[in-house]
């Protein structure tokens, strides 16, 4: 019996999405096969790793990832420049967590100011994230989108409860938009439909099916991503052909495995290495499942993921 390679070709294709401006602009997506399946189709762009920074000091991050940014994380501009210049970040994700009403409750104007300052300091693409408070995000992200007008940022996250205002702001100011739903492929499709029904270009959306950390529901995110990608490719479903986002750092650096000290749990081994691997491995699994855009915290985890991407392309 002679072997013939059972290669697949698909009807559909993932949209190419470019973010940022100038020579540091980055493009993700564009493939017409499953992740890293370059042996049977086109995979023109590498996945992009964005470094997460915040508008307020990361007091809620565990020590092992917080300490890396000591001396810069008290100021988002310093922090952003450090990521770009020292850590060679190819994109920055600014999370405006300080605007959450139960945190510092920073105003939309303050958030817009931070966005302007960070944008002035960096040349790599910027992702602007709210505090995940549906109501507050509406006003904060409108102000942030205006402050970043024409910088071709990604604004997020638009959810079922607030997509109208956020999508309108992204549209008016020429940004891309993250559409997020909670681990439900059908609701993810529905949200993309609703956003495009407003007149928003479907090729300017990034889909976030919601991340989950290794050991804490990762298999759900993994399978939802895989199914979204298969719907895009095999069914040529135009509402599911957006690049996928994995917002890894935020989910990983709150689980026990990423922070419990070795003295408490000797069988789990060195805490620092464990936390870094937890983030990098969550990211790697989701890359295989289909993620093109990763938001990460620990520079060593991000560097390790870059190395494995280097082996995969």
Partner 1 sequence: MLIIGEKLSIIAKRVREAMMAKDKGPIQEIATRQWKEGSGIIDANIGPAEDGGEDLMQWMVTTIQEVVPLPVCLDTTNFSAIEAGLKVHNNQWGKALINSTSNDPERFPILELGAKYNCDVIGLTVGNRGLPADADERAAIAAEIMGRAMEYGLPLENLYLDPLVLQIATTQDQARHVIEAVKLFQHINEPPMKTVVGLSNISNGCPKALRPILNKHLFVLLMDAGLTAAIADAKEMAEVMEEKQLILDVYHGKEIEDKQKMSEIKKTLDVILGNTLYAHSYLEM
Partner 2 sequence: MALSGVEIFKLLPKTNCKKCGQPTCLAFAMKLAQRQATLDLCPDVSEEAKQKLGEASAPPVRPITLGSGDKAVKMGEETVLFRHDKKFVNPCVFALEVKDTLSEADIAAFCNQVVDSEMDRVGQKLRVNAIMISNESGDAAKLEAAAKTVAAKAAGVPVIINTTNAQAAETAVKLFADKKPLLFGANASNLEAMAAVAKSNKASLGISAASLEELSELTEKAKGFGVEDLVLDSGARKAKDMIEHNTLVRRAAIKKNFKPLGFPVISFAQRGDSLLEALVASVCIAKYSSIVVLSSIEKWKNLALFTLRQNIYTDPQVPMQVEQKIYNIGDPKADAPLFVTTNFSLTYFIVSGEIENSKVSCRLAVMDSEGLSVLTAWAAGKFTATKIAAFIQESGIDKEMATKELIIPGYVAILSGSIEEKLPGWKITVGPREANAIPAFLKSRA
Residues that bind partner 1 (CB under 8 A): 184-187, 189-190, 193-194, 197, 231, 235, 237, 239-240
* CA separation for the pair 135, 189 (Å, rounded): 22
Cα 91–69–245 angle (5° rounding)?
35
Binding residue for partner 2 (CB under 8 A) from 18, 132, 165, 190? Answer: 132
Strand 205-208 versus strand 48-54 pairing type: unpaired
Cα 279–284–290 angle (5° rounding)?
125
* CA separation for the pair 14, 236 (Å, rounded): 9
The partner in contact with residue 237, picked from partner 2, partner 1, none with C-beta cut-offs of 5 to 8 angstroms by kind, is partner 1
Place of tokens 């060195």: 270
Applying CB under 8 A, which part among 15-23, 68-76, 88-96, 218-226 lies near partner 2? 218-226
Residue 37 binds partner 2 (CB under 8 A): yes
* CA separation for the pair 258, 242 (Å, rounded): 30
Q: Find the binding residues for partner 2 in span 226-245 (CB under 8 A).
A: 226-227, 230
Applying CB under 8 A, which part among 20-28, 49-57, 121-129, 275-283 lies near partner 2? 275-283
The partner in contact with residue 194, picked from partner 2, partner 1, none with C-beta cut-offs of 5 to 8 angstroms by kind, is partner 1
Please, where are the H alpha helices in the chain?
Answer: 63-66, 76-81, 108-121, 134-147, 163-172, 185-197, 218-234, 248-252, 271-289, 299-312
* CA separation for the pair 22, 189 (Å, rounded): 32
Applying CB under 8 A, which part among 12-20, 31-39, 69-77, 142-150 lies near partner 2? 31-39
Binding residue for partner 2 (CB under 8 A) from 216, 293, 294, 302? Answer: 216
Name the residue nearer to partner 2 (CB basis): 206 or 276.
276
Whether cis (ω within 30° of 0) applies to the bond prior to 157 is yes
Residue 257 binds partner 2 (CB under 8 A): yes
Q: Find the binding residues for partner 2 in span 171-190 (CB under 8 A).
A: 182-183
Q: Which of 5, 12, 60 is nearest to 233 (CA)?
A: 12
Residue 214 binds partner 2 (CB under 8 A): yes
Q: Which positions touch partner 2 (CB under 8 A)?
A: 1-3, 5-8, 36-39, 100, 102-103, 132-133, 161, 182-183, 212, 214-220, 222-223, 226-227, 230, 254, 257, 267-271, 273-274, 276-278, 280-281, 284-285, 288-289, 300, 304-305, 307-308, 311-313
């Amino acid at each position: 019996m002679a072997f013939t390679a059972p290669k697949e070709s698909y009807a559909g294709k993932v949209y190419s999405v470019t973010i940022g401006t100038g020579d540091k602009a980055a493009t993700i997506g564009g493939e017409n096969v499953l992740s890293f399946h370059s042996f049977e189709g086109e995979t023109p762009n590498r996945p992009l790793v964005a470094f997460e920074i915040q508008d307020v000091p990361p007091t809620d991050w565990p020590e092992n990832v917080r300490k890396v940014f000591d001396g810069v994380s008290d100021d988002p501009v310093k922090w952003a420049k450090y990521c770009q210049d020292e850590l060679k970040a190819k994109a920055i994700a600014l999370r405006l967590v300080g605007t959450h009403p139960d945190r510092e409750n920073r105003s939309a104007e303050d958030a817009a100011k931070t966005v302007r300052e960070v944008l002035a300091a960096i040349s790599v693409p910027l992702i602007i994230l709210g505090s995940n408070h549906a109501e507050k995000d509406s006003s904060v992200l409108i102000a942030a989108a205006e402050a970043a007008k024409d910088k071709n940022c990604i604004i997020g996250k638009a959810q079922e409860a607030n997509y109208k205002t956020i999508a309108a702001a992204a549209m008016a100011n020429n940004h891309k938009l993250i559409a997020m739903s909670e681990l439900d492929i059908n609701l993810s499709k529905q949200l993309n439909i609703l956003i495009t029904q407003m007149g928003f270009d479907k090729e300017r959306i990034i889909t976030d099916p919601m991340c989950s950390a290794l050991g804490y529901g990762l298999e759900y995110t993994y399978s939802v991503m895989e199914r979204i990608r298969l719907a895009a490719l095999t069914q040529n479903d135009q509402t599911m052909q957006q690049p996928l986002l994995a917002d890894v750092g935020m989910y990983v650096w709150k689980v026990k495995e990423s922070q419990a000290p070795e003295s408490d749990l000797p069988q789990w081994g060195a805490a620092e290495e464990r936390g870094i691997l937890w983030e990098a491995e969550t990211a790697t699994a989701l890359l295989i499942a289909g993620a093109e855009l990763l938001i990460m915290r620990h520079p060593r985890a991000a560097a390790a993921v870059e190395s494995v991407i280097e082996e995969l392309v």
